[in-house]
Structure 1
Amino acid sequence: MGRLANMAGRKQFDVDEALRGAMHVFWRWGYSEASIDRLTEGTGLGRSSLYGTFGDKSTLFRKSLERYAETYHPLYDQALSGPHSSPSAVVAAYLRVTLNRIADPTVPDGCLLTVSATQFPALDAEGQAMVRAMIDGLRAMLEQALRAAGADEHEAAELALCTLATNKSLAVLSRAGFSNEDLETVAAAAARVPGDR
């Protein structure tokens, strides 16, 4: 996105950078605790500019969630594109993306999608539908990759759900201060799929 400027000569700002700041506020605090004061501080915008550019808090949240998905979901897609030698390799590749994001010191701990799911009742119907659709999309992506790696339909469905649950638990544990080594242990155990050759 480009830069906006007020004709009266007010300070320019980068809409994309402001949206990234909002995304980090929702990611760190969750929807409920992402106050307008925190959002103005995180974006560097005044209230009028924030509302004028992004609309209300619910709309800004959905735009932030879209930005999050545009940033991270292609990494999962790339990791799952294979070819993978086994279902275990699919699980390991998927969770590696999660571990890499968690280890990134430039972003908040955890996962915006996970913290949003934990605050599901606080979201409006559109926000709830968006969170669920994104989780379902990741699940479908996993199932497809697991089938391509040799899992039958039932096994792929089970493993996709368990991998997704592990992914979400890694995000929660990281927010609780568990070490990267602990998270690596969880991911490695999850990737030991019984019956893999």
Structure 2
Amino acid sequence: MAGKKQFDVDVALDAAMIQFWRSGYADTSLDDLSAATGLNRSSIYSSLGDKDALYLRCLDRYATRYGDRYDQALASAAEDPLRAMRGFFDVTLQRIADPDVPDGCMVAQTTMAIPALSGAIAARAIDALASQQARLRNALIATKLTAGDVDEFAVHFVAVNQSLAVMSRAGANQRQLRTIVGISLNAFSRALSHRS
């Protein structure tokens, strides 16, 4: 049928997301995106948008995909806070160990490149980090920790989670990454044992 798209938009977006995630915004050319998606430049522009628009769509897709997994892990925070936080970090560690996706985190990679990015992309990366902090804060409120502890652990867990992505790109192995998580979870466990 004339005018009908001959490709699956979700498949193309996933391929573009992986390309951006692997190489970053600056080091991904339209030729790279064309090779990754199987689309010519014209089809990319007409169906997926220019490079900035496509990157924003991919960043949103990434944040939603992993955000949903984090939400599932944190759902049990009121009943078993330590298990919930372990599950939160397991989402990241499983992503890092997945051979089908690049090392690291697309949000962390984007955040580190903020000085070279457009204002819209920089704002979206900052929003993604703020959303993760809000997600953690909401889960931690259910633990009955003090408001100060809730805020401090939310910031700390976001920082640790992003550092896991950076460390994995630098070659840290799963044992080392799990040690980083373990130290944070031990501190969290101690705080839980002292709650009123």
User: Do the structures match in fold with TM over 0.5?
Assistant: yes
CA distance in 2, matches of 1:87, 1:150: 10
For residue 192 of structure 2, the aligned residue among 180, 184, 196 is: 196
Pair 1:145 & 2:107 matched? no
User: What is the aligned counterpart of 1:12 among 6, 17, 22?
Assistant: 6
Matches of 1:111 and 1:156, distance apart in 2 = 24
Structure 1 residues 102-121: aligned runs within 5 Å: 102-121=96-115
3-state secondary structure, aligned to 2:13: helix
Tell me the SS of whatever aligns to 2:186.
Answer: coil
Q: Give the C-alpha shift of residue 122 in structure 1.
A: 2.0
Structure 1 residues not aligned, in runs of 5+: none
Deviations 1:44-75 (A, max 9, x none): 11111111111110000000011112211010
Q: CA deviation at 1:8?
A: 7.8
Alpha-carbon contact 1:109-1:171 (below 8 Å) kept: yes
Shift of residue 131, structure 1, vs aligned partner:
1.0
1:99 and 2:93 are equivalent in the alignment:
yes
Structure 2: distance between partners of 1:73 and 1:101: 12
Q: How far apart are 1:185 and its partner, in Å?
A: 1.2
Q: Does 1:182 align with 2:182?
A: no
Residue aligning to 1:37: 31
- Letter in structure 2 aligned against 1:117: T
Amino acid corresponding to residue 46 of structure 2 in structure 1: G
When residues 51 and 153 of structure 1 are mapped into structure 2, their CA distance, relative to the original with a 3 A threshold, is: same
**Size of the alignment, in residue pairs?**
191
Q: What amino acid is the match of 1:195? A: A
Q: Deviations over 1:106-125 (max 9, x none)?
A: 11111111101011122211
Alpha-carbon distance between aligned partners in 2 of 1:86 and 1:75, rounded to the nearest angstrom? 17
Query: What is the Cα deviation at residue 95 of structure 1?
Result: 0.9
Counterpart mapping for 1:71-86 below 5 A: 71-84=65-78
Give the deviation of 1:83 after TM superposition.
3.8
The amino acid of 2:152's aligned partner reads: E
Q: Which amino acid aligns with 2:173?
A: S
Distance apart, 1:88 and its partner CA? 4.0
Query: 2:69 matched to 1:47?
Result: no
| Cα RMSD, aligned residues only | 1.8
**% identity of equivalent residues:** 40
Given that 1:146 and 1:160 are in contact with CA atoms closer than 8 Å, whether structure 2 keeps it comes out as: yes
Deviations 1:85-121 (A, max 9, x none): 5654443221111111111111111111110101112
